[in-house]
A and B are shown apart, each in its own frame.
Chain A
Amino acid sequence: MKRTTILAAASALAMVATGAVAQETLKIGALVTMSGAGASWGNGMKRAAELAAEDVNEAGGLEVGDTTYQVEIIAYDDSYKANEAVTAANRLVFEDEVKYIIGTVGSAPILAIQPITEENGVITMTLGFTAQALGADKQYTFRPNPTTAEVAQPQIDWIVRTQGVETVGALFPKDETGEAIAEDLSGAYEQAGATLVATEFFERDRVDFIPLLTRIIAQGVDAIELDGNSPVTAGQIVQQARDLGFEGVIIRTGGPATQEIVNVAGEAATEGMFVHSAFDPGVASAKAYEERYVETYDEPMNGFSPFFYDGTKMLFQAMQDAGTVEDTEAVATAYENISDYEGILGTMNWTGSERYGIAHQLDSPFYIARVTGGEEEIVARCTSTGCE
């Protein structure tokens, strides 16, 4: 389990120079996956928190009430496993005494740590796609990224309408995320007037999809859906489907991962693929974040990272609004009350009271992009009501 400390030297100097306000350290936990299959998501989340912390530290610290806080990120790895997440959560909550946790990546880990975090009033921000992660009885859990449930319908409506898709085949990993997404998508395609005729579930570490794709393609589907698969797996599916001579539409309704998919499958195989994108390179702040990320970490940015950057920034604002970092109940309420937040990706709001019974689900603009020459090209702009 990794512990990273970020304290900008510049801000330390600034502190010495001014020295008037009380300086304290605000510890924020990052309980994410840093090894194994989910590591690219986990790193994206942890780094988002680090960059957000760097921002406030370089500006002299986070001012809440009369105190200025230097933000420190304490990161632990859960290896995408519920048990390890519980140990790490125990350590964060009782040993490091953090009140805020960025994480977890997976659905099982968040469900496993919620008894600890909810009981101790620790605010968590999870990526986990399971519907159970949010609920009226879980007032400290937030999800700062849209899930398939939020983005599927408008996107699928648009694709079905414009691409004349009638039958769709899809492959999902056999885990909680895959099963949740399969259900959401099947309903969404039904409602859009198409059918998900072939669904296949496979073990998460599978790499050979030729037999499954043979079966799907033999059913004469118009399109293949990739949502729910990790970036690498999605790339392998694209490559192997094209290898088998599949010429129909390939769609990824959720989960930003275009860069990784192109890396794995190559430009030729991904040409013309339709992907969900939360990221409009036309928006300067989004572009700037990506460049900063790549420059700082020398790795391509994970698509979920900007959400967690915005989510962390919103959390800082909530602390300031509440005027406290100790009283997490007040901070959670202030967090909930933030509306029309201008984040790097666009305007953010909370939604979800209908679906989850609590408005802790982020609602943000998103796009449908067509992959051309390995790059995303936005073809439609969407909100939760529809795409144009």
Chain B
Amino acid sequence: MSSALTRTTSGPRAMALLWAVALVAVALIPWITGSTFHFHIAIMVCISAMATGGLAVTAWVGQLSLAHAAFAGIGAYTSVLLVTRLDLPVLLGLPAGALVAGGVAFVIGAPLLRLRGVYFVLITFALNELFRLVMLEIPEYSGGSSGIAGIPKISLFGATLSSYEAVYPFALVCLALVMGLLVLIRKGQLGRRFGAVEENLALAEASGIPTARTQNLAFTIGSAIAGFAGAFLAHYVGFISPETFGFQLSVSYVIMLVTGGRLALWGPLVGALFLTPLPEFLRGAVEYQHIIYGVILIAVLRFLPQGLAGLPAQLSRKEGRA
């Protein structure tokens, strides 16, 4: 009895500590290898994890958005236009991107979120296409299909982060902030409300939760995070075009989220961490890379409904049963 008790109390805490140590170790890899290319991959992991984190917030209220790339695009274009046309510092452009993306989501969220399940997926899919097509029609702002090249790099108080080694710590800080926000939401009262809405909408409504407002809030926060990540991506890669933020990008965020764990707090991070560097390990099997993605996706859905982040729990449950 007492041993069971200690396991339930100290077990998770020890596990959490172990996970934290592992995460820090993974984050340190580029410095250990010293490879510039590893810094690049690590930065891409941070950006993907942030964007996927945004998608997760929307998923926590039971909605899956296929317009996530469009919101990343809104953030990217907002920041790039502010920085290049109005000479705003990038450090202000990034939050501005988040603000505008969140604002757009807030405005269109109310009518959109009346749709649920696959209908919401379909309308967000159509929205993403519409975003791409409309952006192509306004080349004076979007650069049209030629896109915008030579986007200024991220700079902090006048110091430009020109090398990957310099960008990476900043990316880590941004990711930590986003994940911190996710933890705050999840552990707070808002998280419980999200959970209630996700689990049973009618019940949540009946127990006095303003479900429409709750869903819209999640959608707004999620899309704002996407806007931030999109702006970061734009200033890091240095090139954007409407095609950058197409259906494919939305799908890749969905794959990361589902693989990591749709409802798990650490799902987005695990998904991005697993899938972004995956091509590196598949160098010899390039042709099979996308097939492997597809198989992973289906296998995770089938056998790990909690995603990779839920794997330890699933394993220990099995163990417990045995």
Contacts and interface: CB of A to CB of B under 8 A. Distances in A.
The short answer to whether A and B are in direct contact, CB under 8 Å, is: yes
B36 A108 contact: no
Contacts of B198: none
A192 interface: no
Contact of B37 (A77, A90, A175, A179): A90
A82 B146 contact: no
Interface string B134-156: 00100000001111011000000
13 contacts: A1-B279, A82-B241, A87-B41, A90-B36, A91-B37, A108-B145, A108-B147, A108-B241, A112-B238, A130-B146, A179-B144, A179-B145, A179-B146
A78 to B, nearest CB: 12
A83 B237 CA distance: 7
A176 interface: yes
A94 B35 contact: yes
B17 interface: no
Contact of B147 (A86, A176, A178): A176
B149 A112 contact: yes
Contact of A86 (B136, B239, B241): B239
A178 B145 contact: yes
Q: Is the interface of A mostly helix, strand, loop or mixed?
A: helix
Contacts of B237: 82-83, 86, 112
B136 A174 contact: yes
B37 A94 contact: yes
Contacts of A90: 36-37, 40
B37 A1 contact: no
Interface of A: 1-3, 77, 81-83, 86-87, 90-91, 94-95, 107-108, 111-112, 114-115, 130, 132, 174-176, 178-180
Nearest to A79: B248
B146 A3 contact: no
A115 B279 CA distance: 23
A95 B241 CA distance: 27
Interface string B270-300: 0000000001000110110100000000000
A180 to B, nearest CB: 8
A122 B34 CA distance: 21
Contacts of A179: 144-146
A108 B238 contact: no
Nearest to B280: A91
A335 B222 CA distance: 51
Interface in B33-74: 35-37, 40-41, 44
Interface in B230-284: 233, 237-241, 243-244, 279, 283-284
A139 B244 CA distance: 27
Contact of B44 (A87, A108, A132, A175): A87
A115 B149 CA distance: 9
Contacts, number: 75
A81 B69 CA distance: 15
A206 to B, nearest CB: 13
A176 B238 contact: no
A108 B240 CA distance: 9
Nearest to B241: A108
A132 B241 CA distance: 15
A2 B35 contact: no
Given A108-B243, A174-B136, A82 B147 contact: yes
Nearest to A75: B286
Given A82-B244, A95-B37, A77 B286 contact: yes
A81 B150 contact: no
A323 B274 CA distance: 45
Nearest to B145: A175
A176 B149 contact: no
Contacts of B150: 115
A178 B41 CA distance: 33
B247 to A, nearest CB: 12
Contacts of A111: 146-147, 149, 239
A33 to B, nearest CB: 13
Contacts of B149: 111-112, 114, 132
A87 B41 CA distance: 8
A174 B145 contact: yes
Nearest to A133: B149
A335 to B, nearest CB: 24
Contact of B146 (A77, A94, A108): A108
A182 to B, nearest CB: 11
A94 B36 contact: yes
Nearest to B286: A2
Contact of B286 (A1, A115, A175): A1
Given A3-B283, A87-B41, A112-B238, 19 more contacts: A1-B286, A77-B286, A82-B241, A83-B237, A86-B239, A91-B37, A94-B35, A107-B146, A108-B243, A111-B147, A112-B239, A114-B149, A115-B150, A115-B238, A132-B146, A176-B144, A176-B146, A176-B147, A176-B241
Contacts of A83: 233, 237, 244
Pick the most buried of A176, A179, A180: most chain B CB atoms within 10 A of its CB: A176
A89 B140 CA distance: 29
A94 B149 CA distance: 22
Given A90-B36, A91-B37, A176 B283 contact: no
B145 to A, nearest CB: 4
Contacts of B35: 94-95
A130 B40 CA distance: 27
A176 B286 CA distance: 28
B59 to A, nearest CB: 24
Contacts of A81: 243-244
